[in-house]
Structure 1
Amino acid sequence: MASEFDTAHVKNIVLLGHAGSGKTSLAECMLFEAGLINRKGSIPEKNTVSDYHPLEQERSNSIFSSLLHTRWRGYKINIIDTPGYSDFVGEVLAALRVADTGVMLLDAAEGVEVGTDIIWEYTEQFKTPMIFAINKLDHDKADFDKTLREAKEHFGNKVTVVQYPRQQGAGFHEIIDVLRMTMYKFKDIGGKPEKLPIPDDEKERADKLHRELVEAVASNDEALMEKYFDKGELDEDEMKDGLKKAMINHDLFPLFCLSTERNMGSGRLMGFIDNVCPSANERPAEQPMSGKALKCDAEGPTCLFVYKTVSEPHVGDLSFFKVFSGTVKSGAELVNETNGVSEKLNQLFLIEGNKRVNVNELTAGDIGATLKLRNTHVNNTLHARGQNVDLKPINFPPPNMTVAIEATQKGDEEKLAQALHQLREEDPTLLVEVSPELKQTLLHCQGDMHLAVARWKIENVHKMQVKFNKPRIPYRETIRKAADATYRHKKQSGGAGQFGEVSMRIEPYYEGMPEPHGLTVRGRETIDLPWGGKLVYYNCIVGGAIDARFLPSILKGVMEKMQEGPITGSYVRDVRVSVFDGKMHPVDSNDISFKIAGIMAFKDAFQHADPQVLEPVNQVMVLCPEDLTGAVIGELQSRRALVEGMDTEGNFQKITAKVPLAELHEFSSTLRSLTQGRAKFSMHFDSYAPLSFEMQKKLAQEHSKEEALTMA
């Protein structure tokens, strides 16, 4: 059976916006308007099609993106409902990668919120054609003009009015459409409106906005501009083509009016989506990582991109994909470009929230899912054999929060490892690291809400208890002055004994430093340490005091001790070691003797070389509204931050600071609480910096106690 809809009649939209702006309610309206559901669900009643996950119902907000589809006037509209909190940005990015138009919802009572700005950055990255929709115009505090003004301030004058409300607040029931020059009058229960002429008292405003819309459309197309100058107007087909072209080029963002609560305006929005918004084959061709451009053509070579994976209990992994070219049929065998493995797509599904509908084929531009792809993951391209197409992957943002995780029950370590692997498979913004240095399993995530979801899944899906701990800090140790030390290792216990004596000098290493003073250099080795910094090892032995064959053993001992520094047990970096003297025994000297002598000589010299503990420092960037800068700077300074500057970025203040990693634990939660979620931040490792004497002393004492307990 051929696909019911061809490529030109499939529209892929993603619903975007700050948490609580009404995305899930709009999805319900669209399904209800199209007759796919006979009763509009609501979030309080926990019966919406898209927020079906128990955790979403428990929290009353979207956490995962949901794929739905509807039919409207001969078109199929695939709808991806996304979460609005920045902790779940991975879901938004994945949806944007496969959508062909975005619908950005703005709350008429709240205006442009920080979540909207965060999402907007990503839509700019993907150049997604965008519609704005001001929702909740029936709210007592609704302010259309203020919200429109903020939208233009934040996103530019490309935001162009297509509709405005005749009245706002509880009495909202009429929308004036300046594209069709019609007024839509709704009953209190919403639904299909009555189409009326624009009232006389609104004609002047409507005419002005109509001219602005026509001029905005014409200004992006020379041919249309000429027609506009000739006729003073554009007809409906010319406006439709001009709007589509301007949206594809990111030159115009039409703005609509809604009340999703009372189902007002969604039908007109759907009409605009099927009539004007681009299909996948009208967007620019995909530019793969290598090779020629890939057009979205049902007759082209089969190629699909996996953008999301969901693990279904008792069933397996469900892989969501978009067909970027060709037609995929159930039973098809495609090759994974990443690993060369052949995968068979035994079943194909259309997705309706938590329901799957079997289909025989999906054509270019459509979105669907399949089960049990063993070797295929998010960001993988599947294609017909011999095609070698590698579509651009989604670049997920780095994490902003880290915790250590461990199983509460002894013996559950393997079970936890499997659970974390599954979580990572479903969510590429969740990173798992087993750190040999810190002796902890670390979970890197986007924030405290993201972490709460991970915990819920582990406890409710994988049925095990875990606890989160504060991650240890990867300190480093180094020295500030030179010191010499000699150590003799001598052991006699019947038979062959052990003997090795080593004299060494250690110095702080820096690039371009002169050769060791007063020593004769016989050999030099520079080692780039895996944990950063360098070790430079000199052979300065004169007269054969130590045989050359024992020098690697001394180096081995030094390296071993550098992996567990004498002060805090942290890695040592940026040290120069010169072995300049020693003694051997003709019978008892061996590799182990000189390795032990090397360890002890290095440890002794280190203690006398003015040791310094270094702490990792992160570069932190916070974006927040101007009225919150004082509070944010105060919070950063309480965490030993060095605030480097403040700048304006769009409508927000950007604060940059260097903050010790040790002080950033739970910063994500504190910032959210401090700003009511109106700020966002990002961070990355910057450098290592010296720790204060008092803090170094405290860490050294803690390390000594731990060592004593280990020895006891």
Structure 2
Amino acid sequence: MKMYDEKHIKNVVLIGAAKSGKTTLAEDMLFEAGIISKRGSVEERNTVSDYHEVEHERGNSVYATTLHTEWRDYKINIIDTPGLEDFAGEVVSSIRVCDTAVLLLHAYNGVEVGTELIWDYVDRYNKPTILAVNHLDHENANYHQALDQARGFLGHAVTIMQYPVNQGTGFNAIIDLLKMTMYRFPAGGGKPEKLPIPEEEREQADNLHNVLVEKAAENDDALMELFFEKGSLDEDELRLGLKIGMMKHQVFPVFCLCAKKNMGSGRMMGFIDNVAPSAVEMPPELSEEGKEVPCNPEGLTCLFVFKTLLEPHIGKLSFFKVLSGEVKAGQELYNEKGNTTERLNQLFITDGKNRQPVERLRSGDIGCTLKLKNTFTNHTLNEKNFTAQIEPIHFPPPKVRVAILAKNKGDDEKLSEVLAEIHMEDPTLEIEFNRELKQVILHGMGDLHLAVTRWRLEHIYNMEVDYLPARIPYRETIQKPAMASYRHKKQSGGAGQFGEVYMKIEPYYDGMPVSKEWPVRDTEEIALNWGGKLVFNNCIVGGAIDTRFLPSILKGVMEKMQEGPLTGSYVRDVRVTVYDGKMHPVDSNDISFKIAGMMAFREAFHQAAPQLLEPVYDLEASAPDVMMGDIMSELQTHRSVITGMDSGTSSQVIKARTPQAELDRLYAALRNVTQGKAKVKAVFAEYAPVPADVQKKLSEDYKKVEQQNGTH
């Protein structure tokens, strides 16, 4: 393969809503460049990009796929991404390492839900962006409506580069305002005929060309002076102005496509070559310490791993971007996070599942290597004496959760290993081994994300699993003081067991005054691992219980607090005062007082108006105004308390407090009533009392389980 310098390597990411045509456009770009001899289609399941079995089965991209073209002395690296929110992690990592985003808009659907969600990530990383209006052959194609929606969404930075002459089922021609040429495509697509702009289009084309010139000039003072001096700009000056505007996010050039028929991709590739910035022209990457790491071809080698993929029969693939210097096959680089030196025995550029070996890759290029032992996504590989650790990709937090269980109990250990592998590939799928809830919990981006994970477990790892509702980490506390005593007495031939404890328990709060009922000899304040506090007062006088048995009483109380009497949940915010008791000179021991303390606490707890607490989240849901009524109705249906409303630029934001027990169902309900247009985020706020009817049901359910297990 030909070697390209850093100025002739362009990295683009194809983004857009599902069915906007990203995978088909990628196929066009490879075909136009001669990388493939025949174009595949999503329907026939033979595209270069969507090559995984799960993608063929679902008819949608699930993985981000790296590809490349070589077009007119430029190398264009392409990453084709999924269009569904459930696979946003694939999109975020791809946007992070590419230098230009190509945002596809459907000529009939315009700015869709997926478009808005994906744009948040583009905007966060401030990536130069090209808009491509696709499906211009759709019978209801409406280029101007899509353009108006884009302007309403992105503002006046939306800049027309091309417009269609005859959109709809007969679409075959585009007016290009940079070249001031009409491109007319043959019936089957492919290389267009270059023609003069028709007379009936001349006035509109001239007007739009003048707007384009002014847009290019306003991004640079020197170009503005030239514009005032000459009254126009030549093509090279236009390109420079557009590049500057793109890098400032003040120009989003609009191109026209019919990817299905291979119309328009070649012209857009030429623009990417000549105008879209290369990595060396982009702002430098930042290290975790905030230091700049410029794309320096003469610098020491620095690679950033942005994706990890496990391929059957191949092993682990690590995809990276060369941020500095040059990497060579066989080179050894140091991974500080993995505390290891890795040898990159082979280097590849990839087109889907096809890998082409290369000897070296220069700054700004994207490649992959095999079988790095201790290097994963977000790791940096450096040449000796180069210590920068690149700021990691911040993946979106998961939104839904489910408990997972292997159907075959013998597969429990294997399931843990497999889930760790899947998380290594997909950081947005989080695995939680929750000891409190006694469940393995998967946290995912949505129901589809979890469904695809299940598919992978069953079809790739041959492992049958069940999905169960994830339990809620309730807490228990009390609402009033109570007193109880318990005598533990056991005689069994030899030495017996005896311990008697009198205690008082009270609701605890910070700043609570010291008890004056009995003189407090000693106080221990314990910050509980699960939140809240336990305050333990020793008020024993006259040697009723030897001091050495107090830690055993505390241990018994703590054990019961880890499995509360009401629902088996953790207990919090209680003050325990041991004020009397009895012991036996022979039969008293630590175990006796541990049991006596545990049972006295249990009996007192039931008399102290026990209260079940549930985790409550601060939730924000933003959506268009017309959907506010439906959202508020769903919130109230799911025990949410609305706390406020704010107005956004094109939407309303509802704020609410929602119990975690309702969150998973609420996410699904909001996605349904808003057709996926609601953006929802939730952050833990506090523990709050559950309604009395909910507490009663949960307590009764717990008692039934205890009785079935013979522990009540």
Normalised by the size of structure 2, how large is the TM-score? 0.97
The separation in 2 between residues aligned to 1:71 and 1:546, in whole angstroms, is: 85
1:58 and 1:648 map into 2 onto residues whose CA distance is 41
Task: Return 564-573 or 412-421, whichever deviates more.
Answer: 412-421
Shift of 1:177: 1.4
Offset, 1:251: 2.0
Greater alpha carbon shift after TM alignment, 618-627 vs 684-693: 618-627
**In structure 2, how many angstroms separate the alpha carbons of the residues matched to 1:112 and 1:595?**
66
Shift of 1:171: 2.1
For residue 161 of structure 1, report the CA deviation from its aligned partner: 1.0
The secondary structure found in structure 1 opposite 2:67 is strand
Check the 8 A contact 1:533/1:574 in 2, yes or no: yes
**Partners of 1:448 and 1:668 within 8 A in 2:** no
Q: Is the 8 A contact 2:638 2:666 kept in 1?
A: no
By how many angstroms is 1:160 displaced? 1.0
Q: Report if the CA contact (8 A) 1:3-1:361 is conserved.
A: no
Counterpart in the other structure of 2:598: 599
**Aligned 8 A contact 1:3 1:363 in 2:** no
CA 1:141–1:648: 2 relative to 1, 3 Å: farther
After superposition, give the CA deviation of every residue in 1:63-93 in whole Å (9 maximum; x if it has no partner): 1001000000000000000000000000001
Q: Aligned to 1:630, what secondary structure does the other structure show?
A: helix
| 1:9 matched residue in structure 2 | 8
**Whole-angstrom distance in 2 between the partners of 1:558 and 1:606:** 11
Q: Deviations over 1:665-702 (max 9, x none)?
A: 34444333333333332222222111121111111111
**Retained in 2: the 8 A contact 1:335–1:383?**
yes
One-letter amino acid of the structure 1 residue matched with residue 163 of structure 2: Y
Q: In the alignment, is residue 574 of structure 1 matched against residue 573 of structure 2?
A: yes
Shifted more, 499-508 versus 205-214: the winner is 205-214
Q: Equivalent residue of 2:68, what SS? A: strand
The equivalent of 1:80 in structure 2 is 79
Partner of 2:355: 356
Whole-angstrom CA distance in 2 between matches of 1:384 and 1:254: 38
1-structure distance, mates of 2:421, 2:427: 11
Q: Distance in 2 between matches of 1:649 and 1:261?
A: 37
Q: Distance in 2 between matches of 1:450 and 1:507?
A: 46
Please list the CA deviations of residues 388-443 of structure 1 after superposition, one character each: whole Å capped at 9, or x if unmatched.
Answer: 11001000111101000001112111121121111111100000111111111101
Query: Quick check: 191-200 or 95-104, which moved more?
Result: 191-200
Shift of 1:337: 2.0
**How far is the alpha carbon of 1:457 from its aligned partner?**
0.7
Aligned mates of 2:366, 2:44 — CA distance in 1? 29
Instruction: Give the match for residue 452 of structure 2.
Output: 453
Could you tell me which residue of structure 1 aligns to residue 142 of structure 2?
143
* C-alpha distance after superposition, 1:318-360 (max 9, x if no partner): 1111111111111111111213211111111110111111111
Alignment map for 1:564-643 (pairs within 5 Å) = 564-643=563-642
Of 468-477 and 203-212, more deviation after overlay is shown by: 203-212
Partner of 1:552: 551
Stretch of structure 1 that moved more, 624-633 or 451-460: 624-633
Q: Which moved more, 1:496-505 or 1:697-706?
A: 496-505
* Cα displacement (A) at 1:291: 6.9
Q: Does 1:156 align with 2:183?
A: no
Letter of the structure 1 residue corresponding to residue 427 of structure 2: P
Aligned positions of 1:226-265 closer than 5 A: 226-265=225-264
Q: Letter of the aligned partner of 2:455 in structure 1?
A: W
Q: Deviation at 1:3?
A: 6.3
User: Could you tell me which residue of structure 1 aligns to residue 702 of structure 2?
Assistant: 703
- Quote the residue 1:97 is aligned against: 96
Residue of structure 1 equivalent to 2:480: 481
Q: Does 1:182 align with 2:197?
A: no
> Unaligned 5+ residue runs, structure 1?
none
Is the CA contact 2:317–2:368 (under 8 Å) kept in the aligned structure 1?
yes
- String of CA shifts for 1:495-517, please: whole Å, max 9, x gaps: 22222221111111111111113
Q: Distance in 1 between matches of 2:679 and 2:58?
A: 21
Q: Name the structure 2 match of 1:369.
A: 368
Deviation, structure 1 residue 115: 0.8
Q: Structure 1: which amino acid aligns with 2:262? A: N
How many Å apart are 1:585 and its aligned residue?
2.0
195-204 or 506-515, larger mean C-alpha shift: 195-204
**Does the 8 A contact of 2:66 with 2:80 survive in 1?**
yes
RMSD of aligned C-alpha atoms?
1.5
The one-letter code sitting in structure 2 at the alignment partner of 1:17 is G
2:531 and 2:572 in contact (8 A); partners too: yes
Tell me, in whole angstroms, the C-alpha distance in 1 between the residues paired with 2:675 and 2:195: 43
Cα deviations by residue, 1:546-589 (Å, 9 ceiling, x for unpaired) = 22222111111111000000010010011111112222222222
Alpha-carbon separation, structure 1, partners of 2:124 and 2:676: 23
The residue identity in structure 2 corresponding to 1:151 is A
1:303 matched residue in structure 2: 302
Q: What corresponds to 1:315 in structure 2?
A: 314
Larger CA deviation: 230-239 vs 678-687: 678-687
Contact 1:521 1:538 survives alignment (8 Å): yes
d(CA) in 1 for partners of 2:509, 2:202: 76
In the alignment, the residues of structure 2 paired with residue 397 and residue 205 of structure 1 have an alpha-carbon distance, to the nearest angstrom, of 44
* Residue of structure 2 in register with 1:325 after alignment: 324
- Given residue 709 of structure 2, which amino acid in structure 1 is its aligned partner? T
2:208, 2:532 → 1: CA distance?
A: 63
How high is the sequence identity, in percent, across the aligned residues?
Answer: 57
Shifted more, 260-269 versus 193-202: the winner is 193-202
Does 2:415 align with 1:409? no
**Relative to 1, partners in 2 of residues 1:291 and 1:159: Cα closer, same or farther, differing over 3 Å?**
closer
CA deviation after TM superposition for structure 1 residue 137, in Å? 1.3
Q: Which residue in 2 is equivalent to 1:224?
A: 223
What SS does the aligned partner of 2:261 have? coil
**Residues 634, 666 of structure 2: 8 Å contact kept:** no
Residue 48 of structure 1 aligns with an amino acid whose one-letter code is: T
**Deviates further, 164-173 or 602-611:** 164-173
Quote the residue 2:164 is aligned against.
Answer: 165
Amino acid of the structure 2 residue aligned with 1:82: T
**Structure 1 residue 33, shift from structure 2 partner:** 1.2
1:513-559 C-alpha deviation (Å, 9 max, x unpaired)? 11113221222222111111111112222233222222111111111
- Structure 1 equivalent of residue 663 of structure 2: 664
Cα drift, residue 307 of structure 1: 0.7
CA–CA distance in structure 1, aligned partners of residues 39 and 676 of structure 2: 30
Query: How far off its partner does 1:230 sit?
Result: 1.4
Cα distance in 1 for partners of 2:453, 2:150 equals 34
Instruction: Write the distance in 1 (CA, Å) between the matches of 2:509 and 2:154.
Output: 49
Q: Please, which moves more after superposition, 546-555 or 477-486?
A: 546-555
Gaps spanning 5+ residues in structure 2: where?
A: none
- Alignment match, 1:381: 380
Counterparts in 2 of 1:213 and 1:658: CA distance versus 1, 3 Å: same
- TM-score norm. by structure 1 comes to 0.97
Q: Residue type of the partner of 2:244?
A: K
Q: Secondary structure at the match of 1:512?
A: coil
Between 658-667 and 141-150, the greater mean CA deviation after superposition? 658-667
Cα distance change, pair 614–548 in 1 and its aligned pair in 2 (3 A): same
The 2-side partners of 1:195 and 1:218 are apart by 27
For residue 113 of structure 1, report the CA deviation from its aligned partner.
0.7
More displaced 10-residue stretch of structure 1: 29-38 or 75-84: 29-38
Q: Secondary structure of the equivalent of 1:614?
A: strand
Partner Cα distance (2:42, 2:131) in 1: 22
Structure 2 counterpart of 1:92, which letter? V
CA contact (8 A) 1:470 1:665 kept: no
- 1:53, distance to aligned residue in structure 2 (A): 0.9
* AA at the equivalent of 2:316: D
Tell me the CA shift for residue 599 of structure 1. Answer: 0.3
Shift of 1:220: 1.8
2-side partners of 1:6 and 1:523: how far apart? 74
